[in-house]
C-alpha cells in the first residue's frame, strides 16, 4: 500500500495549490505539494522533505497534523493513504519551481480562495480536505 504525505499551506484564507505537469502522474490536475513516504521516514518528515523537494523552500516547523485520507482508484479500490498536514502563515511562501529538485512536477502554483478551488480539476478527496480548511 502506497503511503504519502502532503502539506496544505494556508495564508490569509487562501490555499497554495499547484498544477501537476502532464509528464507526471495525475497530469493537469491541481494538487497540494505531496509525495511518497520513504522507508523508515515518518509522515511528518516526509511532508517537510516533499515540500522542499517540490517547492524549493523550507518550512520552519509549525506543521499541524490533520490526519489522513484514503485515496481510491477508478474501480473503487483503495490505492493509497495520504497523510495531511497544515502550515498556516501570514506571509505567503513563494515556490521556486525552477530551483527545486522536483519543481518540474508542477507547471504553476498559486494561492486560491475557496471559490476558486471549488472550480479546479482536482482529486475529490484532496479538494474536500482543502475546502474544510477554508470554512
- State the pLDDT at residue 33: 96
Is pTM, for the whole model, over 0.85? yes
State the residue for C-alpha cell 518540474. 104
CA distance 111 to 56: 16
Give the span between the Cα atoms of 100 and 98, in whole angstroms. Answer: 6
pLDDT at 1: 84
Quick one: cell of 88?
Answer: 498556516
The pLDDT value given to residue 36: 96
Per residue in 28-72, pLDDT (tens digit) is 899 999 999 999 999 999 999 999 999 999 998 899 999 999 988
Q: What is the CATH number of domain 2-132?
A: 3.90.79.10
pLDDT digit string (tens) for 78-102? Answer: 989 999 999 999 999 999 999 999 9
- Domain spans of the chain? 2-132
Q: pLDDT tens digits for 99-131?
A: 999 999 999 999 999 999 999 999 888 999 999
**Confidence class for position 27, pLDDT limits 50, 70, 90:** confident
Amino acid at each position: 500500500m502506497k503511503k504519502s504525505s502532503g502539506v496544505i499551506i494556508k495564508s490569509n484564507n487562501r490555499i497554495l495549490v499547484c498544477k501537476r505537469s502532464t509528464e507526471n502522474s495525475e497530469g493537469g490536475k491541481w494538487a497540494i505539494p505531496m509525495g511518497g513516504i520513504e522507508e523508515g521516514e515518518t509522515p511528518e518528515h516526509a511532508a517537510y522533505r516533499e515540500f522542499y523537494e517540490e517547492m524549493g523552500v523550507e518550512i520552519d516547523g509549525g506543521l499541524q497534523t490533520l490526519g489522513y485520507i484514503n485515496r481510491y482508484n477508478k474501480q473503487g479500490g483503495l490505492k493509497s493513504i495520504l497523510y495531511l498536514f497544515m502550515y498556516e502563515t501570514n506571509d505567503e511562501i513563494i515556490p521556486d519551481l525552477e530551483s527545486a529538485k522536483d519543481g518540474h512536477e508542477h507547471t504553476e502554483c498559486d494561492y486560491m480562495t475557496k471559490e476558486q478551488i471549488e472550480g479546479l480539476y482536482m482529486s475529490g478527496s484532496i479538494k474536500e480536505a482543502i475546502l474544510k480548511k477554508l470554512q
